[in-house]
Amino acid sequence: MKSKKSAKKSAKKSAKKSAKKSAKKFKHDDKSNHPEFPGEPNIEEFTHELLDKWEGGGSVDFYVDKKANVWDENADFVGKYDEDDDSLYIIEGYEYEE
């Protein structure tokens, strides 16, 4: 029987792999795979070092919803955030559009 610590570690690894797989399957050109924007009342401001190239100088604002989906100020889907290991999985081909 696995110890609680071992089971927890295994579950965390599985969740990380799952998050990576789900984030990687999103294609920027195929917006039908993107989650639906939850609306402004359901998001909060978000920053992450991987977003610095767009945030530099405060030029672009990013947001996260309760499902860890990350959005830009145009309500375009950017990717998924994994709070457990502070990882951001940006969708393939994402570029901010003014």
Q: How confident is the model at residue 54 (pLDDT cuts 50, 70, 90)?
A: confident
Mean pLDDT computed over 36-47? 96
Q: Which residue has the tokens 């901010």?
A: 96
Give the rounded percent of residues in the chain with a pLDDT score beyond 90.
Answer: 46
C-alpha 51/C-alpha 53 separation (Å) is 6
Q: Supply the mean pLDDT for the chain.
A: 76
C-alpha 49/C-alpha 21 separation (Å) is 21
Total-model pTM:
0.67
Q: What are phi and psi of 13, to 5 degrees?
A: -60, -45
Per-residue pLDDT of 71-94, as tens digits, reads 999 999 999 999 999 999 999 888
| Per-residue model confidence (pLDDT) at position 96 | 87
- Does pLDDT of 35 surpass 60? yes
